[in-house]
Chain A
């Protein structure tokens, strides 16, 4: 392989297994003697539990056990706090994490109250009908705004208020900015909840083997190592007694991170009680309650500008809906806080948020993880300011972009990874220009839009910018081994959920070792094969694990050259690695295969030199100093149907900069998939809770995921500004597609209804909601 694999659109190693139905997903694990679990979940969002009667369930056919909180004894503990509070001065933080089974009170609809174990899932669900819970319903905290009212019901009584945290971060001096400004724009923006809705629901299989004293768990988790460590500690086992396997996962998008979901904690415990393997697979309805969600925030924001459009400062005060418990710390609101600054020079910034508890399912990061909100607020403020100042919306962005020579660019606040928010590298104008070009901005705005508008069409254009902090620490590792067959085996600790890691990692390794990508076998997410690691989140897999792969493969390359040099009696610099062999440059006759070298490096008899390490193998770790900042521009032209208020997306452009690209095919897929989720989030998907906290649309019939008819073809292009923070120069790309879509739709819809002064200040929209907003705006216009 003399051509470089890095950067090639190589088809994926993992696909044949997936395409033929031979890939192992969690629900495919079948063990002899396995029992099945179902949970009784609360229908009420907020209620005191007076009593639970499980006698009927215990007598139900095929039932092996029924557990309530009281049966768990000391094992009943609130879950761990997964991310500690931010190390900033102005912070208040009140920790409340989820419990395995509700004890005195249920705090959100769908919270698990009892667990039934039976011979089949059908029998376990039958037995749920035999459980009677006597509830005393309580008023629920649903609406963000009223959560902090004096007389608001309390989600956690002992807390005395519904505050999860208050955080203020600031740079410069907003008060001065306000005083110096020619224009201040002040608006309220809101962003409501959706759900990740991975096609595979969550699931767990747990098997305690009494004789070997060993616990094996198959888990749909993005962070198997954290789960192993946590469960071992909770169960009083050594980490070596617990193996967590994250097999093929049918989409993660955030909520499958190391949550220590009640079901994870309970199945691990119950298999030890019962001495039999247990399986629980979430059904779609449960997924709407029991899997974490994201996105409720309300922002009161202000921007201060000079007459020429120069931004002097932003002040943003917002509420963040944490849901009933907050195990994931402040990752989401801090990401909103930091991402708001975007690609712009904002010399003065004051941001304060209050994260509040509500009687709704738990909020943790879902693709974008709060970045959406920040981008939405900033882009909307710029749009409104541009209109007010009669400046072109493109020009106001261009004017305020951070310039290439200003990198690394320090924002003087703390990011969700606890490091200073410093952008490593970036070059924003080329991406903007390219996007304008691809979408045909000038021609549309000057000719097409006026013409079509005159003909009564509602067509609009949007162009927005964003940055995305990616590839954060702490670290990941990789072990690369040349096997006796000459093939390469590789292990890493992160889990993979469809991002093509089996292939992109192999590309990184192939370049070092000179083998075919298809001869590299990668294992991810099995804690028995790799001990250390943090997990797949924050668009970090390719960056952090990818660079660990690179480091380990480089080490193996050195070893190969050393032993091959001895064998072939040649200087190392005269050797090259080609197609699974080491040869003297230009002399293919003088060569040796990697397989032969691997066998030789593991002698079975005789002596070795002191200090010799066996095998052609290396384990290396990579931890970046801080995250790498990706960026991009999305542009859209859309048409609103005047009768149905549905949208037709006529053109969608993404120009993205995620540094060097390992596999453009996989990258395009990540972007397209992200945009599809962004479109869902902006215009189709919304979780509707009633005033009692009941979820009104907990099925895929009522919660509308975008289909092939709703998502357009996306024209994409890349600008490459390598990250100086890692040897491969890569940045993460997993979330970029999803982040700016709400802001983009808002701008384009405003543009389609420019004549009536429509100003979209909320996401998600829907045809109904858009109709209402347009009706209101028209009425205002008439006055």
Chain B
């Protein structure tokens, strides 16, 4: 009953045979070893599993791997050029202490990529609105909001 899918993840092609019920989050984490995408609820609420599919932020726990067939997926591992060469949004989070345990962080970063592309100069209310789909249990969000504000500035200086 397995199906063969080909997916591009972070620009690299993968061809794998998978069960139709395999979640995209499990495919990314376990089948191809990109464990930077986290799973906090598996029911679409926490946003930790957010990745980009064809440039749109989606919850990879609400999608089957087979649905990603023929599409382009970007995960947190595809955001930077290595630990030495962080994406501007990653810089924003580092500077402003926008993470504590860091478990929610990959999903938040991936949520922000398309958001900041479309809203290069967001208001605090807009930032809080977009963040409301991602739960962070550690930070109380204040420093995440500050991190997003700084990220927006950094992105304008040096687009990711």
The answer for the CA separation of A22 and B99 in the assembled complex, in Å, is 15
The complex places the Cα of A500 from the Cα of B80 at a distance, in Å, of 23
Q: Mark A460-491, 1 if CB is under 8 A from B, else 0.
A: 00000000000000000000000000000000
B94 at interface by CB-CB < 8 Å:
yes
* Residues from chain B with Cβ under 8 Å of A665 in the complex: 97
Kindly identify which residue among B19, B34, B36, B46 contacts A122, using a CB–CB cutoff of 8 Å: B19
Any B CB within 8 A of the CB of A449: no
Pairwise interchain contact A673-B140, C-beta atoms closer than 8 A? yes
Q: Please choose the segment from B52-60, B64-72, B113-121, B130-138 that sits at the chain A interface, where 4 or more of its residues have CB less than 8 A away.
A: B130-138
What residues on B are CB-neighbors of A498 within 8 Å? Answer: 99-103, 138
Give chain A residues whose Cβ lies under 8 Å from the Cβ of B152.
none
**Contact status of A199 and B90, CB under 8 A, knowing A11-B97, A22-B83, A701-B43:** no
CB<8 Å pairs between A and B, sample of 10:
A15-B94, A19-B80, A21-B77, A22-B77, A27-B29, A200-B101, A498-B102, A669-B139, A673-B140, A701-B45
Task: Kindly state whether residue B104 has any CB partner on chain A within 8 Å.
Answer: yes
- Across the interface, do A675 and B38 meet the contact criterion of CB distance under 8 Å? no
Whether A19 touches B86, Cβ cut-off 8 Å, given contacts A251-B138, A669-B139, A705-B137, is yes
Known contacts A11-B94, A708-B132, A709-B132; A250/B102 CB under 8 A: yes
Which B-chain residue is minimally distant from A252 (CB atoms)? B101
Q: What are the 8 tightest A-B residue pairs by CB atom distance, in nearest-first order? A: A21-B36, A250-B103, A498-B101, A18-B102, A676-B140, A672-B140, A498-B100, A708-B131
In this assembly, does A700 line the interface, its C-beta being within 8 Å of a C-beta of chain B?
A: yes
B-contact 0/1 string along A175-198, CB 8 Å cutoff: 000000000000000000000111
Q: A19-B90, A19-B105, A250-B102 are in contact. Are A12 and B97 (CB under 8 A)?
A: yes
The answer to whether B142 and A16 touch across the interface, beta carbons within 8 angstroms, is no
Of the candidates A20, A670, A673, A699, the one whose C-beta lies within 8 Å of that of B36 is A20
Query: Interface residue count for B (Cβ, 8 Å)?
Result: 59
Contact with B along A402-446 (1 / 0, CB 8 A): 000000000000000000000000000000000000000000000
State whether A199 and B137 are in contact (beta carbons under 8 Å apart), knowing that A20-B86, A21-B75 are contacts in the complex: yes
Q: Which residues of A contact B106 (CB under 8 A)?
A: 21
Q: Which residues of B contact A122 (CB under 8 A)?
A: 19, 21-22
Given contacts A248-B102, A250-B101, A669-B100, are A19 and B137 in contact (CB under 8 A)? Answer: no
Which of B39, B94, B127 has a CB less than 8 Å from the CB of A27?
B39
Q: Which of B35, B95, B100, B132 contacts A25 (CB 8 A)?
A: B35
Residue ID in chain B nearest A121 by CB atoms: B26
Q: How many Å lie between the Cα of A36 and that of B79 in the bound state?
A: 31
Is the C-beta of A554 less than 8 angstroms from some C-beta in chain B? no
Q: Contacts A250-B101, A665-B97; is A16 near B39 (CB within 8 Å)?
A: no
Neighbour of A284 across the interface among B40, B77, B100, B104, CB < 8 A = B40
- The chain B residue sitting closest to A672, CB to CB, is B140
Q: Which residues of A contact B83 (CB under 8 A)?
A: 16-17, 20, 22
Q: Which residue of B lies closest to A16 (CB)?
A: B83
Counting CB contacts under 8 A, is A364 at the interface? no
A383 at the interface (CB under 8 A from B): no
CB–CB A21/B94 < 8 A? no
In the complex, A518 Cα to B19 Cα: how many Å?
Answer: 45
Does any Cβ of B come within 8 Å of A2's Cβ?
A: no
- Taking a contact as CB atoms under 8 Å apart, the answer to whether A199 and B135 are in contact is yes
- Chain A proximity of B106: nearest CB distance (Å): 5
Residues of A within 8 A of B105 (CB): 18-19
Q: How far is the CA of A670 from the CA of B139 in the complex (A)?
A: 7
Establish whether residues B140 and A675, one from each chain, have CB atoms under 8 Å apart when the complex forms.
yes
Q: Which residues of A contact B112 (CB under 8 A)?
A: none
Out of A11, A499, A699, A714, name the residue touching B95 (CB < 8 Å). A11
State A745–B160 Cα separation when bound (angstroms).
43
Residues of B within 8 A of A15 (CB): 93-94, 99, 102
In the complex, the answer to whether B80 meets A666 with C-beta atoms within 8 Å is no
| Minimum CB–CB distance for A126 against chain B, Å | 10
Q: How distant is A653 from chain B, measured CB to nearest CB, in Å?
A: 13
> Given the complex of chains A and B, what is the CA–CA distance between A30 and B41 in angstroms?
21
Is B139 touching A20 in the complex (CB atoms < 8 A)? no
Cβ of B97 to closest chain A Cβ, rounded Å: 5
Can you name the residue of chain B whose Cβ is closest to the Cβ of A713?
B142
CB distance from B87 to the nearest CB of A (A): 8
Asked if B145 is at the interface of the complex by the 8 Å CB criterion, the answer is yes
CB atoms of B30 and A30 under 8 A apart: yes
Does A384 sit within 8 A of B, measured CB to CB?
no
Q: How far is the CB of A167 from chain B (nearest CB, A)?
A: 32
Residue of B nearest to A701 (CB): B45
Does A612 reach chain B (CB closer than 8 Å)?
A: no
Distance (Å) between the CB of A706 and the closest chain B CB?
Answer: 8
Determine if B140 and A711 form an interchain contact, defined as CB atoms under 8 angstroms apart: yes
B33 at the interface (CB under 8 A from A): yes
